[in-house]
Structure 1
Amino acid sequence: MAVKIRLKRMGKIRAPFYRVVVMDSRTKRDGRAIEEIGKYHPTEEPSLIEIDMERANYWIAQGAQPTEAVAALLKVINDGKLRTKEQGQSKKERYEAALAAAGKSSDDKDASSTPRKRTAKKAEPAPSTDVAATEDAAEAKVTAEAEAERTETSEKNES
């Protein structure tokens, strides 16, 4: 049985990642693998390459042939030219740094990073007695005007 160490494509369309697998040379590209020994993400910057070198060396000693792509990955790992991604700060560290830059400490539970919404002061309604008095005055004015009109019309009719 001819055994190969090759890449098994996974992921979505236009977002591939690969598993480094040991499989029979006659199986399909994405077929059943004998063993998965690593993974390769070419779209990340820098590319993520994780291969269990102990298992890869074991299978090569047993006669497995790596494909050209896998041979290139193994060479990068063995030469020590593998670039690694720099570890960034955790979210908590970035948050605390932002607070320190703003001049606040992370221990302040009462102080929030965004100001609260201000409530507008509503106009206080006039006391109910004043409202009643203004309504009474308005009614008295209307009735006085109505009586004045009646007297004027009655005087015109008499003349």
Structure 2
Amino acid sequence: MATKIKLMRLGKMRAPYYRIVVADSRTKREGRVIETIGKYHPKEDPSFIEVDSDRAQYWLGVGAQPTEPVAAIFRVTGDWQKFKGEAAPPPMKVAAPKPDRKALYEEAVRGNGEEPAAGATTPKKKAAPKADADTADSSAADTVAEAAGAGGEGPAAGATSTPAE
């Protein structure tokens, strides 16, 4: 059986990432694989490349043929030079480690803990003057309704009357 070391595409549109896999040469790109030997994330800066060097050397030694993109990855990681017996390439660029969130939080707390807070960061909202006018109108309407209900002689609240001539 002829084996190839190739890339299996995963991810979304415009956000691909790949697994470096060993598979039968007749299988599809995302078809059945024999073994996964690495990862490749081209969209990160710098690109993330992780290869299990021992397994890559084994498969190259038993005759598995890498595709051109995989051969380029092996040249970057130094696995191809190790297989051919050549000098190792310069080391790869590695992304800077991300800062620890807990350490950043503790530093911010220490920085703000020394200064007393002067007050609220946003001013308190003032009551709208319209709300005062609405409450005055409703209390006046209540007084009129009570007077109409208590007298019993006048017209019903809300009804209009015209003087008789």
TM-score, normalization: structure 1?
0.64
Q: Unaligned regions of 5+ residues in structure 1, if any?
A: 106-110, 121-159
Counterpart check, 1:8 vs 2:8: yes
Residue identity over aligned pairs, in percent, reads 49
C-alpha deviations, 1:73-110, integer Å up to 9, x for none? 111111243111111211111112223343x27xxxxx
- SS across alignment from 2:97: coil
TM superposition outliers: structure 1 runs of 4+ over 6 Å: 116-120
Q: Unaligned regions of 5+ residues in structure 2, if any?
A: 79-88, 126-165
Pair 47,90 (structure 1): closer, same or farther in 2 beyond 3 Å:
same
Deviation at 1:11, TM superposition (A): 0.6
Instruction: Look at both structures and tell me which one has the larger radius of gyration over its CA atoms.
Output: 1
Match of 2:99 in 1: 89
Deviation at 1:118, TM superposition (A): 8.8
Partners of 1:17 and 1:115 lie apart in 2 by: 47
Where in structure 2 are the equivalents of 1:2-151 lying within 5 Å? Answer: 2-78=2-78, 79-102=89-112, 104=113
Partners of 2:21 and 2:90 lie apart in 1 by: 22
Match of 1:124 in 2: none
The amino acid that maps onto 1:85 is: A
Pair 26,90 (structure 1): closer, same or farther in 2 beyond 3 Å:
same
Match of 2:149 in 1: none
